[in-house]
């Protein structure tokens, strides 16, 4: 299929809502992506901890 492209580690961090959860795709050094699925409570907790870290 001409529209299909291989996924590489290049690109931005992505977070999408899929079903009842959230899927976060983090580019990794050297290529590839780390894919993490979170529920709403885990996503809120992660957001709060990141904001506290950079505040």
Q: What pLDDT, on a 0 to 100 scale, did the predictor assign at position 9? A: 54
Radius of gyration of the chain (CA): 14
SS3 of 45, please? helix
Query: Is it the case that residue 2 has pLDDT exceeding 80?
Result: no
Give CA–CA dist 20/17, Å, rounded.
7
Q: What is the mean pLDDT of the chain?
A: 86
Return the closest-CA partner of residue 25 out of 17, 42, 33, 54.
33
Strand partners, 25: 14, 35
Query: Is it the case that residue 53 has pLDDT exceeding 70?
Result: yes
Q: What pLDDT, on a 0 to 100 scale, did the predictor assign at position 6? A: 58
């Amino acid at each position: 299929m001409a529209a299909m492209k291989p996924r590489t580690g290049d690109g931005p961090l992505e977070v999408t809502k899929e079903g009842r959860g959230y899927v976060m795709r983090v580019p990794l050094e050297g290529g590839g992506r780390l894919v993490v699925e979170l529920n709403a409570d885990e996503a809120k907790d992660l957001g709060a901890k990141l904001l506290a870290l950079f505040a």
